[in-house]
Amino acid sequence: MSRLVYSTQQGRLCPECEHPVENCQCKKKQFTPEGDGIVRIRRETKGRKGKGVSIVSGLLLNEDELKSLAKELKRKLSSGGNIKDGEIEFQGDHRDKIKAVLEGKGFTVKLAGG
Predicted confidence (pLDDT) per residue in 26-81, tens digit:
755 555 556 778 999 999 988 778 788 999 999 888 888 999 999 999 999 999 99
How do the domains of the chain map onto residue ranges?
1-30, 31-111
Backbone angles phi, psi at 67, to 5 degrees: -65, -40
pLDDT above 90: residue 21: no
pTM of the model: 0.69
Predicted confidence (pLDDT) per residue in 100-113, tens digit:
999 999 999 999 87
Backbone angles phi, psi at 83, to 5 degrees: -115, 130
Report the alpha-carbon distance of residue 86 to residue 35 in Å, rounded: 11
| Vertex 106 angle, CA 78 and 89, to 5° | 35
Q: What is the pLDDT of residue 7?
A: 67
Q: What is the pLDDT of residue 49?
A: 83
Q: What is the pLDDT of residue 33?
A: 59
Enumerate the β-bridge partners of residue 82.
89
Report the alpha-carbon distance of residue 22 to residue 97 in Å, rounded: 39
Domain 31-111 matching CATH 3.30.780.10: the answer reads yes
